[in-house]
Amino acid sequence: MKKAFLLGFASLMLAATFSAPAMALTVGGVDIPDTYTANSTELQLNGAGTRSKFFIDLYIGSLYVPQARQDGNAVVEADEPQAITLHITSGMITSDRMTEATLEGFEASTGGDMASIQAEVDEFMAVFKEEIKEGDVFDLVYVPGEGVKVRKNNEDKGSVGGLEFKKALFGIWLSDEPAQSSLKKDMLGRS
């Protein structure tokens, strides 16, 4: 009887282990979902980390891709559905500061040559004109043939550019000159 109970209990625990949903990753107090759906493609969380400056945590950046990758350049160059989410965790981020930092990121990711995507950069930057506050979430979702879909707090803000723009945008965090090396490493799941 005791043996049957133990076998039954073990079977129940094993079944619960395989049927339980995957837990989200928690970074800096923010629960990061383990999947993201871009149109009809389910993307997997590749990694997430904190963007800090002067010892202040500013936002959590998360990368979603179809298959895990640890090579930033491969992610940037890939013409496949991908997403980056930014969870604002500090009241220190303002519209002006986000605009300035993002423009610096575009400069770095393009080696200072933004001429071919300048119109798209200008269009994209408009999303930061609205007030930005702690708790805001930005979704940057690349869909081949449609461009980068921009969302703020689950509200569509439009689509921008194509693959070349996506390379520059995702390069802000994943290029050889990223916004922060440790965040790049975390987003690539290398930490």
Domain count, the chain: 1
Mean pLDDT of the chain: 87
The reply to whether 16 falls in a domain is no
CATH number of domain containing 114: 3.50.70.10
Q: Which of 125, 53, 34, 141 is nearest to 93 (CA)?
A: 53
Contacts of 127 (CB under 8 A, 6+ apart): 138, 150, 152, 157
Contacts of 156 (CB under 8 A, 6+ apart): 149, 150
The reply to whether 89 falls in a domain is yes
Q: Tens of pLDDT along 129-184?
A: 999 999 999 999 999 999 999 999 999 999 999 999 999 999 999 999 999 999 99
The reply to whether 5 falls in a domain is no
Q: How many CB atoms lie within 10 A of CB 18?
A: 6
The reply to whether 36 falls in a domain is yes
Q: How far is CA 94 from the centre of its chain?
A: 19
Q: Could you list the residue range(s) of the whole structural domain that residue 127 is in?
A: 23-187
The reply to whether 15 falls in a domain is no
The reply to whether 3 falls in a domain is no
